[in-house]
Amino acid sequence: MSTSATEREPRAAESAPDRGRTPRRGWSDLPSPLRHLLFAALALAAVTGLLLVTGDLTALRMAAVGYTMLAVAGLQLLTGGSGQVSLGHGAFMMIGAYTMALLVLNLPMLPLAVNLVLVVAVAVVAGIAVGAATARLHGPYLAGATLILAVGLPGLTHRYHEVFGGSNGLTVHTAGAPPFLQGLVSDSEWKALVVWTAVVLALAVLATISTGRLGRRMRTVRDDETAAAMSGIPVGGTKVTAFVIASAAGGLAGGLQVYVLGTATPSMFTLALSLTLLAALVLGGIGSMWGALWAALAVVYLEIWLSDAVRAFDLSKDVENNLPIVLFGVLLILVLRFQPLGLHGILQRLRALLRRAR
Amino acid sequence: MDHFVDLTLSGLASGAVYAALALSLVIIYQATRLVNFAQPAIALIAVYTAATVAPLTGSYWVGFVAALTVGAAAGALVERFVVRPIARVSQLNGIIVTLGLLLVAQGGVGMIWGNEQHGFSYAFDFVGRPSPADVFALVSVAVVAALLFCLYRFTPLGLRMRAAAFRPEAARLSGVKVGLMLTTGWAISALIASLAGMLAGPPFISPNVFDIVFVYGITAAVVGGLDNPFGAIIGGLLVGLGMSYVSGYAGPELATLTALALVVLVLSVRPDGILSRPTARKV
CATH code of the domain covering residue B211: 1.10.3470
Closest CA of chain A from B174, distance in Å: 31
B282 falls within a domain: no
Tell me the mean pLDDT in the region B73-85.
Answer: 87
Question: What is the dihedral sign for C-alpha B164, B166, B172, B174?
Answer: negative
pLDDT: which is higher, A246 or B247: A246
Closest CA of chain B from A160, distance in Å: 9
DSSP three-state, residue B252: helix
Q: What is the pLDDT of residue B278?
A: 61
Q: Judged by CB atoms within 8 Å, which residues 91-110 of B form the interface with A?
A: 91-93, 95-97, 99-104, 106-108, 110
Tell me the mean pLDDT in the region B239-243.
Answer: 88
Q: What is the pLDDT of residue A10?
A: 43
Q: Which residue of B has its CA nearest to A316?
A: B111
Tell me the mean pLDDT in the region A308-321.
Answer: 74
Which of B264, B265, B270 is the best residue to mutate to test the A interface, defined by the most A CB atoms within 10 Å of its own CB?
A: B264
Q: What is the pLDDT of residue A13?
A: 41
Nearest-CB residue to A322 (from B37, B107, B253): B107
Residue A6, pLDDT > 70, answer: no
The chain-wide mean pLDDT, for chain B, equals 84
In a 10 Å sphere around its CB, with 0-12 CB exposed, 13-18 middle and 19+ buried, how is residue A34 labelled? Answer: exposed
Cβ contacts of A276 on chain B, cutoff 8 Å: 103
Q: B219 and A278 in contact by Cβ < 8 A?
A: no
Residue A24 pLDDT class (50, 70, 90 cuts): low
pLDDT tens, residue by residue, A81-116: 888 888 889 999 999 999 999 988 888 888 888 888
Q: What is the pLDDT of residue B103?
A: 86
User: What is the 8-class DSSP label of residue A27?
Assistant: G
| Interface confidence: ipTM more than 0.85 | no
Measured at the CA of B273, the angle between CA B268 and CA B277, to 5 degrees, comes to 110
B278 falls within a domain: no
Tell me the mean pLDDT in the region B42-49.
Answer: 90
Question: Which residues in A224-253 are b (16+ Cβ under 10 Å) and which e?
Answer: ebeebbeeebebeebbbbbbbbbbbbbbbb
| Lowest mean pLDDT, pick from A13-17, A30-34, B225-229 | A13-17
Q: Determine contact, residues A339/A348, Cβ cutoff 8 Å.
A: no
Closest CA to B264 of B254, B255, B273, B253: B273
Looking at the complex, does the CB of residue A49 fall below 8 Å from at least one CB of chain B? no
Distance between CA B83 and CA A245 in Å, rounded? 32
CB count within 10 Å of CB A266 equals: 20
| Lowest mean pLDDT, pick from A50-54, A131-135, A209-213, B134-138 | A50-54
Residue A124 pLDDT class (50, 70, 90 cuts): very high
Residue A14 pLDDT class (50, 70, 90 cuts): very low
Q: Determine contact, residues B190/B75, Cβ cutoff 8 Å.
A: yes
Q: What is the pLDDT of residue A273?
A: 85
Cβ pairs A/B, distance under 8 A: 159
B88 falls within a domain: yes
Helices (H), chain B: 2-32, 39-57, 60-78, 84-87, 91-113, 132-154, 156-166, 168-173, 178-200, 210-224, 229-249, 255-269
Number of domains chain B contains:
1
Q: What is the pLDDT of residue A250?
A: 93
pLDDT: which is higher, A252 or B266: A252
B192 falls within a domain: yes
Q: What is the pLDDT of residue A246?
A: 92
Q: B271 and A136 in contact by Cβ < 8 A?
A: yes
Q: What is the pLDDT of residue B3?
A: 81
Residue B95's alpha-carbon distances to A87, A164, B35, B102, in angstroms, are 10, 33, 7, 11
Tell me the mean pLDDT in the region A165-175.
Answer: 79
Measured at the CA of A46, the angle between CA A43 and CA A52, to 5 degrees, comes to 140
Cβ contacts of B219 on chain A, cutoff 8 Å: 144, 148
Beta pairing class for A170-171 and A263-264: antiparallel
Residue B279, pLDDT > 70, answer: no
| Lowest mean pLDDT, pick from A55-59, A87-91, A228-232, B187-191 | A55-59
Q: What is the pLDDT of residue A5?
A: 42
Helices (H), chain A: 5-19, 32-53, 56-75, 82, 89-106, 112-134, 139-159, 161-164, 187-211, 213-223, 225-230, 235-261, 271-284, 289-313, 317-338, 342-357
Distance between CA B216 and CA B130 in Å, rounded? 22
User: What is the 8-class DSSP label of residue A29?
Assistant: G
Q: B92 and A156 in contact by Cβ < 8 A?
A: no
Residues spanned by the domain of B34: 2-269
Q: Determine contact, residues B187/B238, Cβ cutoff 8 Å.
A: no
B154 falls within a domain: yes
Closest CA of chain A from B183, distance in Å: 19
Closest CA to A70 of A194, A186, A175, A237: A194
Q: Determine contact, residues B260/B272, Cβ cutoff 8 Å.
A: no
Cβ contacts of B31 on chain A, cutoff 8 Å: none
| Lowest mean pLDDT, pick from A248-262, A319-333, B66-80 | A319-333
